[in-house]
Structure 1
Amino acid sequence: MKKILTIILDGFGYREEEKGNAILAAHMKTFTELWNKYPHALLEASEEAVGLSKGQAGNSEVGHMTIGAGRLLKQSEMLVNDFLKEPDMENANVIKLLENKDKDIHIMGLCSDGNIHAGVDDFLSMYKFLIDNGFTKIHFHLITDGRDTGVHDAMKYINMIKDIIIEYGVGDVVSICGRYYAMDRDENWDRTKAYYDLVVGGKGLSSINIEKSINSSYEKGITDEFIKPIICSKNTIKNGDIIMWMNYRADRAKQILSSIVNWSTFDGFSTENMKDTLVFSFLPVDKKIKTYNLIEPVVVKNSLGLYLSELDFTQARIAESEKFPHVTYFFDGGVDGKIKGCDKFHIPSPSVATYDLKPEMSCVEVTKRVILSMNNDYDFILVNFANPDMVGHTGNMDAATKACMAVDMCLNKIMEKAEDNFYKVVILADHGNADIMINDDGSICTTHTTSVIPFILCDEKVKLQKTGSLVNVAPTILDYMDIAIPKEMEGTESLIVE
């Protein structure tokens, strides 16, 4: 039986153009040697190939879920789009929402066209839906992006909200805040508290001219991601109100929603009584956070990890904090909790304001755990290196280059030990990012890319197709392990050419 080590290089797109390409700038000796020595392919990781809309770049959630599922899934973005085009008026939670039309309702979320966590068009569609169904007290709390969009794009999206408010004559923009504060996922409670104090307590820079306040931030070198809390109206969230949470990704929603929903037991900071406040979301956030979901999530049966578990294969999952949910929850198709025979190793990410300050992040510690796991003879090991993605998001070309260099050093150490421990290694990415750090106009690029991604199977005896997509990965691994694929993956080809 073959033992498999699968390495996911997060945000590691394949692109031959050198300009603004931190991956090529890093001159990754180990990766290049592996690419040249072993069979490889280029895989689609964006757009329709992974269940997203045309032109939409892939992301870590979609990437890991598709890699694990081994089939094409309708992703959250598309589920939300479908709902807003034709809401399910028989859904019990939709009915519950409409029963509360006399209450203040707060539309909250990431307001941009990045469509990784949310989309501005969804804000507009939800607003129209609420207007059409008799809501008259509608308040917007807009989180600025600058990470999955340009770094100075906030007013474009804010103006779209302001324009529709003027058109319909209902509602107001209550607050503005950067995602750095509003969407923290690493228990930096001071950041979450700053956002909570804004949307509940009304604490922030008081502004009657949003554009002037945003431009003032730009003049101080503060880009959209880091916009400090701005309060624009007195209509903050109070007990008994309704919240319509617009983000469809759960990972960066948990902290702020837990502080509101679980106010009585929450211990991150002091919170107000919110026992009569109802929180609606498109999709589930967390088992411990009670929200009323407007859409039934896709159920992924027999993902690669769960299938191997049922076959009594032992597994190790390894990642630092920023990508730990991806090698566990997302890779397993949205299944949380303990899995038979699977040990999960969470390596803390470094405590820094932004990862360009420490581009190596925790890759050395991750590597040590991978080597230890190989020594412990797991049947299947999955590891994620977060560096190309997380440092790529800073827009710092030099730091992203150093991040890729650090990962290459780790690859070298891992490959040495993999051979000693008789592991076969699969290397791939989940989406692009560090491959484009500079836009065509010379501005910095912080977003994901639609580039194809590399796939390497480190066995010279194997022949691979030259192209494919992330849906082909799980069937390929099972094929290589000489394991029959589950019926849910039937119809998805292995990349191995017989």
Structure 2
Amino acid sequence: MSAASRPTLAPDPTRVAPEGPVIFAVMDGVGVGRGDEGDAVTAALTPTLDWLRGLPSATTLAAHGTAVGMPSDKDMGNSEVGHNAIGAGRVFEQGAKLVAQSIASGALFRGEVWRWLIEGVHDSREPLHFIGLLSDGNVHSHIDHLLALLDRAAADAVPKVRVHILTDGRDVPGRSALRYIDTLEAALAKLREQGFDYQIASGGGRMHLTMDRYEADWAMVERGWDVHVRGRARKFASARAAVETLYAEHPELDDQHLPGFVIADQGGVGAPLGPIRDGASVVFFNFRGDRALEITRAFEDDSFTEFDRSPRPKVRYAGMMQYDGDLHLPKRFLTAPPAIDRSMGELLAGAGKRQLAIAETHKFGHVTYFWNGNRSAPFDPALERYIEVPSDAKPLEQRPWMKAAEVTDTLLQALREPGPGFDLVRLNYANGDMVGHTGELRSTILAVEAVDLCLARLVRATEQLGGVLIVTADHGNADQMFDGEGEARQVRTSHSLNPVPLAIYDPREPRLGPALSLPARPGLSNLAATTLSLLGFAAPDDYDPSLLA
């Protein structure tokens, strides 16, 4: 971006920027729960967070539903929409809502990409393949979208469809896969009654195959390639038979970790039903980008070297959305993503302010790609520094401290380097969310405590550097580890609908924090204007207002 084309910021005459950096810390998945036995945040020893939440500048923020662009307030928030809202300063309609609108209006099916996919299989007589997460979690996908695609494929006279399912157990209850499989099988059975050959072809858990992110574990994607494309995995007669057998054999596993399987003819002993061959059309029906990028690269990248794809089928491939606008992945997509412009990061780059973004691998793209409005590259590399601390590939419940200390070490070292300092630091502690997804209460309590230890170090650094500290979260998770009560209680591995904390620590203030002026429903989208104000800038008129009085 040239200097002349950068958006500009006007000064805020009522605020003076601190001498040191504004440090913006996101405690991923640390919401404000009910304080019951399933609230790992309340159960954790968190003296620093407790102190921060006692400041006059502390409040809670909405981080789910319409406050972050989801279709309704029954929809949980997630890291993508949360960081989008924080960085954009406005609420944009997000993937789930955009896809639902596009399907309901018929725009998706009138589009060139859908027609291109259908024409391909009409010409080749190969199946149309759908790959994606099978649930109604509405974080990465929604089963209703898949069912609508299947109905339209039949209306467009596609004779053969194969569905490759990824079981969830992360954004929905841990062992709920059979519910979604039964719903899908019922829909497929109705279409088969009309003369269409529509069947489930393969499957496996989302954290075992296909849905890796941030290049943390390419072996996951390779396992997905083997299962979906090559049809190489343990054979079963049906998806229900596969899941029931794997449940019995692996009582310690929930849906997200199930091994891969394929459905075979002749009662499960014959040939796989759905390897992806030359001439097929393939739709990855997830709408969220982070866990869709690597499988997309495997299908589209001619110079791909992460694993051996041979024989690589020549297919027509499309995503439900474009997952990376900078990298143009995928090349073709069914629904346009939200067009987020003038994010906080872009505005500060235009103002010549230096920014540092840091997180461990699990959440690195959250403080870069999602924070920047779904843009991977810096707006001005001379002013921005991105640091990724490699995550462990070992079980998170066994190491709930993760890389929080290393992220903090690296951050503080960078802040004390000679030369011009950073004006804004944005960092993410992944522990509350990533360990919360395991469903292990004790481990999640330790995860929250590890973050609190690091917050104490940030408080001291803020004082020493003459900065300001903002602490919040992108959504809840660790704050609600159970659903139901008594005998009906179940372990919850998905995000919560709870609000998230916000505290602003400013050592310059007599009461250690600025006074707040809160709208009726303050949310994550108010934080960009708040941060700009702390840096001495007036936010654009269309930003949601600052929370500072």
- What TM-score does the superposition give when structure 1 sets the normalisation length? 0.96
| Corresponding residue for residue 111 of structure 2 | 91
Q: How does 1:371-382 map to 2 (within 5 A)?
A: 371-376=412-417, 377-382=421-426
CA contact (8 A) 2:121 2:279 kept: no
The 2-side partners of 1:324 and 1:37 are apart by 29
CA distance in 2, matches of 1:239, 1:424: 57
Pairwise CA distance, 1:419: 0.4
- Gaps (5+ residues) in structure 2? 1-16, 265-272
Q: 1:92 and 1:211, CA in 2 relative to 1: closer, same or farther beyond 3 A?
A: closer
Q: Choose which of 242, 245, 259 in structure 2 pairs with 1:216.
A: 245
Instruction: Report if the CA contact (8 A) 1:29-1:408 is conserved.
Output: yes
Counterparts of 2:24 and 2:414, CA distance in 1: 12
Instruction: Render the CA deviation track for 1:81-118: whole Å, top value 9, x for unaligned.
Output: 01111232553323322322414110110000111100
Aligned to 1:484: 538
Describe the SS at the equivalent of 1:199: helix
* Matched residue type, 1:129: R
Q: Unpaired runs of 5+ in structure 1? A: none
Q: Secondary structure at the match of 2:425?
A: strand
Which letter does structure 1 place at the counterpart of 2:92? Answer: L
Tell me the CA shift for residue 333 of structure 1: 0.4
- Root-mean-square deviation (Å): 1.6
- Whether 1:200 aligns to 2:229 is yes
Task: Determine helix, strand or coil for the equivalent of 1:27.
Answer: coil
Q: Distance in 1 between matches of 2:294 and 2:121?
A: 27
Look up the match of 2:8. Answer: none
Contact conserved, 1:239 with 1:273, CA < 8 A, in 2? no
Query: Of residues 184, 206, 214 in structure 1, which corresponds to 2:212?
Result: 184
Contact kept in structure 2, 1:151 and 1:223, CA below 8 Å: yes
Which residue matches 2:529?
A: 475
- Residue aligning to 2:548: 496
Alignment partner for residue 391 of structure 1, among 430, 435, 438?
435
Q: Which amino acid counterpart does residue 119 of structure 1 have in structure 2? A: H
Instruction: Provide the secondary structure at the position in 2 that maps to 1:247.
Output: coil
Q: Which residue of 2 aligns with 1:365?
A: 406
Q: Deviations over 1:222-259 (max 9, x none)?
A: 22111111110322111221001101112111222222
Q: Which deviates the most, 99-108 or 385-394?
A: 99-108
Q: CA deviation at 1:476?
A: 1.3
The residue type equivalent to 2:63 in the other structure is: A
**Which residue is 2:178 aligned to?**
155
Using the alignment, how far apart are the partners of 2:474 and 2:33 within structure 1? 14
Equivalent residues of 2:40, 2:444 under 8 A apart: yes
The answer (yes or no) to whether the contact 1:111–1:145 under 8 Å persists in 2 is yes
User: Cα offset for 1:275?
Assistant: 5.8
Residue of 348, 360, 376 corresponding to 2:390 = 348
What is the rounded CA distance, in whole Å, between the counterparts of 1:53 and 1:27 in structure 2?
36
Pick one of 323, 331, 353 that aligns with 1:313.
353
1:364-398 CA distance string (max 9 Å, x none): 11001221233242110001000000000000000
Aligned counterpart, 1:330: 370
The correspondence for 1:238, drawn from 250, 258, 277, is 277
1: CA distance, partners of 2:137 / 2:143: 8
Whole-Å separation in 1 of the counterparts to 2:370 and 2:397? 26
Structure 1 window deviating more from structure 2 (218-227 vs 367-376): it is 367-376
**Aligned partner of 1:455: which letter?**
L
Q: Could you list the per-position Cα deviations for residues 167-193 of structure 1 after superposition, in whole angstroms to 9, with x for gaps in the alignment?
A: 121201101111011212244232222
Instruction: Give the Cα separation in 2 of the matches to 1:193 and 1:311.
Output: 43
For the 8 Å contact 1:198–1:229, the answer to whether it is kept is yes
Post-superposition Cα deviations, 1:60-95, rounded to whole Å, max 9, x if no partner, equal: 000000001111100011011011112325533233
The answer to whether the 8 Å contact 1:41/1:465 transfers is no
Q: 1: distance between equivalents of 2:216 and 2:303?
A: 16
2:474 is equivalent to residue 427 of structure 1: no
Question: Percent of pairs identical after alignment?
Answer: 28
Query: Secondary structure, in 3 states, of the residue corresponding to 1:365?
Result: helix
Cα contact 1:370–1:414 (8 A) shared by 2 = no
SS of aligned partner of 1:140:
strand
C-alpha separation in 2, matches of 1:125 and 1:316:
43
Secondary structure at the aligned position of 1:294 is classed as strand
Give the conservation status (yes or no) of the 8 Å contact 1:242–1:279.
yes
- Structure 1 residue 442: deviation in Å? 2.3
CA contact (8 A) 2:228 2:275 kept: yes
* Correspondence for 1:11 among 29, 45, 52: 29
1:298 to 334, 338, 346: 338
Q: Secondary structure at the match of 2:491?
A: coil
Moved more, 317-326 or 10-19: 10-19
Distance in 1 (alpha carbons) for counterparts of 2:436 and 2:166? 21
Kindly indicate whether the alpha-carbon contact (under 8 Å) linking 1:278 and 1:291 is maintained by their aligned counterparts in 2.
no
Which amino acid in structure 1 is aligned with residue 233 of structure 2?
G
TM-score by length of 2: 0.87
Q: Distance in 2 between matches of 1:275 and 1:145?
A: 27
Partner of 2:494 in structure 1?
447
Measure the CA separation in 1 of the matches of 2:241 and 2:151.
28
Letter in 2 for 1:417: A
The count of residues paired between Structure 1 and Structure 2 equals 493
- Supply the AA of the counterpart residue of 1:333: G
Moved more, 282-291 or 301-310: 282-291
1:141 matched to which residue of 2?
164
What do residues 91-149 of structure 1 show as CA deviations (whole Å, max 9, x unaligned)? 33233223224141101100001111001111101111111112111111011001111
| Shift in CA distance, 72/285, structure 1 to aligned 2, threshold 3 Å | closer
Q: Cα distance 1:201–1:90, how it changes in 2: closer, same or farther (>3 A)? A: closer
For residues 477 and 458 of structure 1, the distance between their equivalents in structure 2, rounded to whole angstroms, comes to: 12
Matched residue of 1:100: which SS?
Answer: helix
